Amino acid sequence: MFITGERAGRKYNVKPSQVFVGVGSDDVLAMAFLTFFNSDKKILFPDITYSFYDVWADLFKIPYEQIPLDEDFRIIPEDYSKENGGVIIANPNAPTGVFMGLDGIRAVLDKNRDVVCIVDEAYVDFGAESALSLLEEYDNLLIIQTFSKSRSMAGLRIGYAIGSETMIKYLNDVKYSFNSYTMTSLTLALGVEAVRDDEYFKATCAKIVKTREKLKTDLKGLGFEFQDSKTNFIFAKHASVSAEHIFTELKKRNIYVRYWNKPRINEYLRITVGTDEECDTLVTNLKEIIAQGEK
Ligand SMILES: *Cc1c(COP(=O)(O)O)cnc(C)c1O
């Protein structure tokens, strides 16, 4: 843990004592919920966001309120000014792919100086901007990142939080009273090597971004609509064929995208950016499904 903490510290220009490492960011998020979201006041997070936030809130008996995104799936910072017990935002958000600029994050932090605001940056490496630069100014900011997405190392389980030394100390206090040694030495060694190989990391991120931009063009050409994505997926809706129909047809052809039959998002598909070949196969099949669906 300290090895990776030191590495991450050097990489991000923060002290090792400002880094908390855990078994994937899900573990880090759970620890952060336990440590910081413990008043009787509601914590706030968007109505459409990472599906684990309400699960943990329920599990840990933390009261919460889901704040609606606007029609374009954007977070409205002003909506986070009501009294609360903490805030958690995924930026870019999932499954929408929408990124809120640092002005927005700053606005949320300014309105919430007395509570902890977590920014979950699971997808930040695919072309978004991290809030790391705001850390010096805001001691209420806790940033959480993961090796599971942009580093393609989900199976190794490495996640981490960066924040003030005080917050990281509290996180460690909770963790050590729960389960002290959660990461294997092999995981730590491989994590360190992954951080060292910055060239490979940058190349793979750039590759995904390039494929994503091409896929955006192709999807638009097929009549899909979506907000701009800064992640490794696109959350898209077709102008005339239902998402459920497309989802079912793709599944028959062994192509898997994600679909949620939930209010506000039941006309959307979350399409992961695969390899160039995979995306081409997807587009070819979508073309057929849409042509049939529109008849
Ligand atoms: C994938 C994801 C995580 C958790 O990933 P780990 O594998 O546990 O690091 C956390 N938050 C968001 C928004 C995610 O998409």
Residue of 55, 121, 146, 258 to test ligand 1 pocket, by largest number of atoms within 8 Å of CB: 146
Q: Is the CB of 33 under 6 A from ligand 1?
A: no
Q: How far is the CA of 268 from the centre of ligand 1 (A)?
A: 20
Place of tokens 């638009």: 220
Fold classified for 199-293: Aspartate Aminotransferase, domain 1 (3.90.1150)
Question: What are the C-alpha distances in Å from 112 to residues 2, 20, 86, 120, 266?
Answer: 31, 22, 8, 17, 32
Q: How far is the CA of 251 from the centre of ligand 1 (A)?
A: 24
Q: Is the CB of 24 under 6 A from ligand 1?
A: yes
Q: Looking at residue 11, what is its pLDDT?
A: 65
> What is the strand order of the sheet 87-90 is part of?
19-22, 159-162, 141-146, 117-120, 87-90, 43-46, 64-67
Could you tell me the pTM of the whole model?
0.95
Q: Nearest-5° angle of CA 43, CA 48, CA 49?
A: 70
Q: Looking at residue 1, what is its pLDDT?
A: 44
Atom 12, ligand 1: residue with shortest CA distance: 122
What does the CA dihedral 41, 45, 47, 53 come to, rounded to 10 degrees? -90
Q: Is the CB of 122 under 6 A from ligand 1?
A: yes
As averages over each run of 10 residues, the pLDDT of the chain (295 residues) reads: 56 88 96 96 98 96 98 98 98 98 98 98 97 96 97 96 98 94 94 95 97 98 98 98 98 98 96 98 98 78
Q: Looking at residue 8, what is its pLDDT?
A: 60
Q: Looking at residue 162, what is its pLDDT?
A: 98
Q: Is the CB of 25 under 6 A from ligand 1?
A: yes
Residue ranges covered by each domain of the chain: 2-196, 199-293
Q: How far is the CA of 148 from the centre of ligand 1 (A)?
A: 7
Q: Does domain 2-196 have CATH number 3.40.640.10?
A: yes
Question: What are the C-alpha distances in Å from 131 to residues 73, 80, 116?
Answer: 20, 17, 14
Place of tokens 């050590």: 176
Place of tokens 């077709």: 238
Q: Is the CB of 121 under 6 A from ligand 1?
A: no
Q: How far is the CA of 161 from the centre of ligand 1 (A)?
A: 12
What is the C-alpha to C-alpha distance for residues 9 and 3, in angstroms, rounded to an integer? 10
Atom 15, ligand 1: residue with shortest CA distance: 122
Q: How far is the CA of 246 from the centre of ligand 1 (A)?
A: 26
Q: How far is the CA of 158 from the centre of ligand 1 (A)?
A: 10
